[in-house]
Structure 1
Amino acid sequence: MYIKEIISLIEDYAPLKLQASFDNSGLLCGDPERELTSILLCIDVTEEVVKEAIDKGHNLIISHHPLIFSGLKHITPATYVERCVIDAIKHDITIYAAHTNMDVVANGVSGRMADKLDLYHRQVLQPEGDPMAGNGFGIIGKLQQPVESMAFLQQVKEIFRCDRLRYTTPHTPSIQRVAVCGGAGASFFKQALAGQADIYISGDFKYHDFFLTENRIMIADIGHYESEQFTKEIFYEILTKKISKFAVQFSEINTNPIKYL
């Protein structure tokens, strides 16, 4: 099997045309005509991840976040991005990213968050493109049963493996209607509020964003990485329907750059 065939599987699920205008999803480095050896799945490409691919003999890295986000004017050892590109080229490793196209596609990043919380009666928080396709950013849905607010927050902390999370004071004794958005979801706060969510779970809220709740909705900032970490599972499920599970591995590197005391 060739690398381009693997890329086709990802793009059949999350077409590149769905990515945001600012994004740089797709083939970032390497030759798609090469025969595949094995695949390493990750959220971010770092030097440690590239070394892991080299050490384990993977010649394709599939990440959620693009290694190259804006244009490179030179390729020198000056930055980690350039060093990753140099090492990948030197060892014939292809790098591919599925970012906002995987965010926006139905059953993408936010859909996986909703799966983890077992939400039903789901709707897209911010529809994009053809309304019949069901694509867009974020998901809003319901829990099977109401859960006491702080108990639910503790469940969220455990499910998303958060060292810490930031939240606003609960405005209601229990939670049932839940909005989620993978990554930086603060810009869709108004949609969560309009959807009458009891809580909005996402990442990258700024200090002043928390004032916007005005005792109408609860915000839970679980962290950018934490909200997107299960994207690797989506990649794995797409690929192992067609190829051997032994050819696809999760990176063992935790690429979350944020640490907590």
Structure 2
Amino acid sequence: MKVFVKDIADILENIAPVKYAHSYDNVGLIVGSFHKKVKNVLITLDLTEEVFYESINKKCDLIISFHPIIFQSIKNITGKTYSERVIIHALKNDTSIYVIHTNLDMVWDGPSSYISKLLKINREKVLFPKKENLKKLTTYVPIDYASKVRNALFEAGAGNISNYSHCSYNFDGFGSYMGNKKTKPFFGKKEVFHMERETCINVIFPNYKLNIIKNALFKSHPYEEIAYEIYNIENISPYIGIGFIGNLMKKMNEYDFLCFIKKKMNVTCIRHSNFREKNIQKIAMITGSGRFGIETAIKEKADVFVSSDLKYHDFFKHEKKILIVDIGHYESEKFTKNLVKSFLDKNFTSISVYESEIHTNPVKYFH
């Protein structure tokens, strides 16, 4: 079975839609073509020149990087920086580069899922839910066609609420219309007033599926002119957003917790605020840079906030209410390679997927 870049991108974007990414981010296909055939894939946290040479040795057609090789616009490509040199290498070797970053961070099955399983944490919800993420569709369908339209909307991705699928609200009534002489009414006759018994269907769906949902409606609905409304709704999903809140299976003291996370996360160095001499059970965590989450973690009454890239003054924010822990940026995200590989292994059997063996952490520790 032939596999193309687009096939892989479709799987990844079904899990982590590109539109979930932060506005500053640069995700999706960065270099190459969606129509390129793929036999071997290399997954990396950072795409350095050394990683690129590794991809050549492994004969990889596609590199999937967590961190973008291009963050901002480039006016010229002369090879003066490592990122420009990687792009030149990729173009010369016909190697495609795909990035999945903050859009993966946003989803429930993303890095937070992997780490919570590793640490045996029972997750409750995300720490920062994504806002303005949902829309609602209301449409009116002849009763005998309601099931067909409703199922088409479900198939397109509408009607999912947390752990429930196929959610809708329906009620019957009468719709009226009278078409002019240019019309071809499905029921009734042109230029004659008509009333038809119809079902009103209401479903919610994520913003990024707007066009898919509309296409499903238009293809499945029997009417020439379809009556429908689409609304933005303020409901917030507890499972889409940055970070997470959860509980350890059992309480432990602060020292034991730091030893536990150091071992499980394979961390060589941990920075932390003063001990409060209280047990740890409720955890707030953001992988990668998360200094913005301290106050929210305190409001959520977490016992500890775990993240990275914290500054000196951030450690004063504990106010004796929370233990603040910095495990390192690379250290908090390094498991992403294994996570993305698991997505591809489940969906493709005819390609080889490799995790980069290169340790790309630019931060070194003197012991």
TM-score by structure 1 length? Answer: 0.97
The one-character-per-residue Cα deviations of 1:155-180 (angstroms, maximum 9, x if unpaired) are 11112221211011221332111111
Per the alignment, residue 153 of structure 1 pairs with 258
Distance in 2 between the 1:224 and 1:125 partners? 18
Distance in 2 between the 1:132 and 1:82 partners? 39
2:275 to 159, 170, 174: 170
The one-character-per-residue Cα deviations of 1:193-238 (angstroms, maximum 9, x if unpaired) are 1111111110000000000101110011001111111111221111
Letter in 2 for 1:88: A
The answer as to 2:354 corresponding to 1:249 is yes
Per the alignment, residue 77 of structure 2 pairs with 75
Distance in 2 between the 1:234 and 1:59 partners? 20
Per the alignment, residue 314 of structure 2 pairs with 209
Q: CA deviation at 1:112?
A: 2.2
CA contact (8 A) 1:113 1:180 kept: no
Correspondence 1:1-261 to 2 at 5 A: 1-129=3-131, 130=133, 131-132=236-237, 134-244=239-349, 247-261=352-366
Structure 2 alignment gaps of length 5 or more? 134-235
CA contact (8 A) 2:282 2:303 kept: yes
Q: CA deviation at 1:109?
A: 2.0
Alpha carbons of structure 1 residues 11 and 133: separation in structure 2 relative to 1, 3 Å: farther
Letter in 2 for 1:11: E
Structure 1 ranges of 4+ moved more than 3 A: none
Bigger share in helix: 1
Distance in 2 between the 1:75 and 1:240 partners? 34
Q: Tell me which moved more, 228-237 or 128-137.
A: 128-137
Does the residue aligned with 2:243 lie in a helix, a strand or coil?
A: strand
Distance in 1 between the 2:9 and 2:20 partners? 15
Alpha carbons of structure 1 residues 103 and 121: separation in structure 2 relative to 1, 3 Å: closer
Structure 1 alignment gaps of length 5 or more? none
Distance in 1 between the 2:347 and 2:122 partners? 29
Letter in 2 for 1:183: G
Distance in 2 between the 1:216 and 1:112 partners? 27
CA contact (8 A) 1:172 1:198 kept: no
Report which of the two structures shows the higher radius of gyration computed on alpha carbons. 2
Query: CA-atom RMSD, angstroms?
Result: 1.3
Letter in 1 for 2:332: S
Identity across the alignment (%): 39
Distance in 2 between the 1:133 and 1:140 partners? 10
Alpha carbons of structure 1 residues 45 and 145: separation in structure 2 relative to 1, 3 Å: same
Count, aligned residues: 261
TM-score by structure 2 length? Answer: 0.69
The one-character-per-residue Cα deviations of 1:48-78 (angstroms, maximum 9, x if unpaired) are 0111001110010001111001011111111
The one-character-per-residue Cα deviations of 1:175-194 (angstroms, maximum 9, x if unpaired) are 11111111001101111111
Distance in 2 between the 1:10 and 1:246 partners? 15
Q: CA deviation at 1:115?
A: 2.0
Distance in 1 between the 2:296 and 2:112 partners? 14
Q: CA deviation at 1:113?
A: 2.2
Distance in 2 between the 1:151 and 1:13 partners? 35
Does the residue aligned with 1:61 lie in a helix, a strand or coil?
A: strand
Alpha carbons of structure 1 residues 87 and 110: separation in structure 2 relative to 1, 3 Å: same
